[in-house]
Amino acid sequence: MSEIIELDGVSKTYRDSKFRHFKALSDVSLKVKEGEAFGFIGPNGAGKSTTIKILTGIIIANGGTAKMFGIPVDDYRARLGMSYVPESPYLYDYLTPLEVLMMGCRMHKVSDTDLQKHCMSVLERFGIAHVANRRIRTFSKGMTQRTALAHALACKPKLLILDEPLSGLDPVGRKEVVDILRDYRSAGGTIFFSSHVLSDVERLVDRFGVIHKGTLRAVNTPAELVADSHHELIIRSRGIAQVAGVESQGEEKWQVQVQERELVEWIQRLVAAGHQITEVRNAITLEQAFLRFVQNAGGEHEPRAEHD
C-alpha cells in the first residue's frame, strides 16, 4: 500500500501583528496510506489548517518536504486526483448545486456517459437533490456545506482533504455525511481531515494525529488513545435480578463501572445473576482522552494569532 500523503520535517513560520516570528508548525512528519481515513485533531491554533493549506498549495512551508501521490506539493500535478473542502467553503451563490457539480466535473474531466445523472445521484446521496436547481444564495450553512461536499465527491477524487467537514451540520446531517465518507473510504478512497467533532472522528478514522502548538504529539488509533488514558471499563447488561453495586438504567437495564483487572470477575457475577451482557466499553470517551492528552502535553492552549 503506497503513501498518498508524506510530510517530512515540515515547518511554517508566520509574523504576528507586531512582526514577531512564531512557529505555526514545527518539524511535522507523518504518512497517510492509500485507502486510509486519517483524522487531524487539535485545539484552535494548533496548526491543523496550516498543514492542510500547505498540502493544497495555498501556502508554502518554510522547511521540510510535503508530497502527495509522491509528487512535491509545489507541483500542480500533486493536486490531480484530489478534492478539497475548506472549513468555510465559498460557492458562487448565483449558481445552483447542479451547476456547481457539473462545472466541477467538467474541470476535473470526469468521464461519465450521463454527467447530469451522475451529479444528480451525488446530490441525492447528500439529501439535496430536491434543491438541485435552486440558487445557493437561498441556502443555510448546512445546505451549503452539503453542496460543497457533494461537489468534492462528484469529481471522483482519489484523495479527499477536508477542513472541519461537519461544520454547520446538525446531528442528523453529521451522521449522514460520516456514513457517506465511510462508504467512500470502503470503496478505496483516502481521507485526510480535521474535525472538532471527536465522536464522529472516532467512527470514521483508522488513525489520527494529535497536534498541539504546532507540534505533532502522537499518531494513534482512537482505541489506543483511549486505552492509554484510562483503565476503567463500563459493563452494561440486561436482566431482572438486582446485583449489588450495579446501577439501574431503566427497566431491566443495568450498568457498572469497573477496573480493567476486575472485568472477568464482574462478568461472571452478572451472568450468574441471570444477566445478559450487552456492552463492554472504555469508561472514558475519545473527547475526554484527547482533552487529558492535550493538558498533559503542555497545559491549556494559548491563543497564537489568527492562523490555525
pLDDT tens column, 220-269: 877 676 665 557 788 999 999 999 999 999 889 999 989 888 999 999 99
- The angle at the Cα of 38, spanning 125 to 42, to the nearest 5 degrees, equals 110
- The pLDDT score that the predictor gives to residue 308 is 60
Q: Whole-angstrom Cα distance, residue 295 to residue 210?
A: 12
Averaged confidence pLDDT in the chain: 88
pTM of the model: 0.78
Cell numbers describing residue 287: 473527547
- The pLDDT score that the predictor gives to residue 18 is 77
Cell numbers describing residue 158: 482519489
pLDDT single digits (tens) 289-304: 777 666 665 544 443 4
How many angstroms from the chain centroid is the CA of residue 161?
10
Question: Band of the pLDDT at 167, cuts 50, 70, 90?
Answer: confident
- The pLDDT score that the predictor gives to residue 296 is 66
Cβ(11)–Cβ(25) below 8 Å: yes
Has residue 218 got a pLDDT over 90? no
Q: 308: how many CB neighbours lie within 10 A of its CB?
A: 22
Q: Residue 141: which of 178, 194, 87 has the closest Cα?
A: 87
- The pLDDT score that the predictor gives to residue 88 is 87
- The pLDDT score that the predictor gives to residue 193 is 92
pLDDT single digits (tens) 68-126: 999 999 999 999 999 999 988 989 999 999 999 999 999 999 987 799 999 999 999 99
- The pLDDT score that the predictor gives to residue 173 is 87
| Strand spans (E) along the chain | 3-15, 21-33, 37-41, 63-68, 71-72, 82-85, 159-163, 190-194, 207-212, 215-220, 232-238, 247-248, 253-259, 276-282
Check whether domain 3-81+158-226+287-298 has CATH 3.40.50.300, yes or no: yes
CA dist 154 → 32, 110, 148, 168, 184 (Å): 22, 9, 10, 21, 11
Q: Which residue has the higher pLDDT, 283 or 228?
A: 283
Q: What is the mean pLDDT of residues 168-180?
A: 88
Q: Which residue has the higher pLDDT, 79 or 283?
A: 79
The domains of the chain are located at 3-81+158-226+287-298, 231-283
Tell me what percent of the residues of the chain surpass a pLDDT of 90.
Answer: 61
pLDDT single digits (tens) 19-47: 788 888 999 999 999 999 999 888 888 89
- The pLDDT score that the predictor gives to residue 297 is 59
